[in-house]
Amino acid sequence: MIKFVYSEEFLKYKEISHPESPERIESIINYLKKKGDFQFVKPSPCNEDDLLLVHTPELIKKVKNNSFFDPDCPNIPNIFHYACLSAGAAIIASEISLEGEIGFSLARPPGHHAGRNNIGGFCYFNNMAIAVKKLLFKNYRVAVLDIDGHHGNGTEEILKGEENVIYVSIHQFPAYPGTGKYSFENCYNFPLPPFSSSKKYLESFDKALEIIKNFSPDIIGISCGFDTYIDDPLLELSLTETDYYVLGKKISSLFKKTFFILEGGYHISKIGNLFYCFISGLLYSSETGVSK
Judged by CB under 5 A, the residue of 115, 264, 272, 281 near Zn ion is 264
Smaller CB separation from Zn ion, 43 or 225: 225
Q: How far is the CB of 176 from Zn ion (least distance, A)?
A: 8
Helix axes 241-252, 268-282, angle to 10 degrees: 30
**Euclidean distance between the first and the last CA atom of the chain, given in angstroms as a whole number:** 10
Residue 24 within binding range of Zn ion, rule CB under 5 A: no
Site for Zn ion in 98-157 (CB under 5 A): 148-150
**177 preceded by a cis bond (ω within 30 of 0):** yes
**Which residue out of 18, 81, 112, 113 is catalytically annotated?**
113
Q: Whose CA is closest to 79, among 55, 110, 101?
A: 110
Q: How far is the CB of 240 from Zn ion (least distance, A)?
A: 18
Query: What residue is closest to Zn ion based on CB?
Result: 264
Residue 227 within binding range of Zn ion, rule CB under 5 A: yes
Smaller CB separation from Zn ion, 149 or 217: 149
Residue 281 within binding range of Zn ion, rule CB under 5 A: no
**45 preceded by a cis bond (ω within 30 of 0):** no
Q: How far is the CB of 76 from Zn ion (least distance, A)?
A: 19
Q: How far is the CB of 222 from Zn ion (least distance, A)?
A: 14
Judged by CB under 5 A, the residue of 115, 180, 217, 225 near Zn ion is 225
Smaller CB separation from Zn ion, 96 or 145: 145
Residue 64 has phi, psi (to 5 degrees) of -60, -40
> Is 113 noted as a catalytic residue in this protein?
yes
Smaller CB separation from Zn ion, 45 or 109: 109
Q: How far is the CB of 226 from Zn ion (least distance, A)?
A: 9
Q: Which stretch binds Zn ion (CB under 5 A): 35-43, 68-76, 85-93, 218-226?
A: 218-226
Smaller CB separation from Zn ion, 60 or 144: 144
Sites of contact with Zn ion (CB under 5 A): 148-150, 225, 227, 264
Catalogue the active-site residues.
113
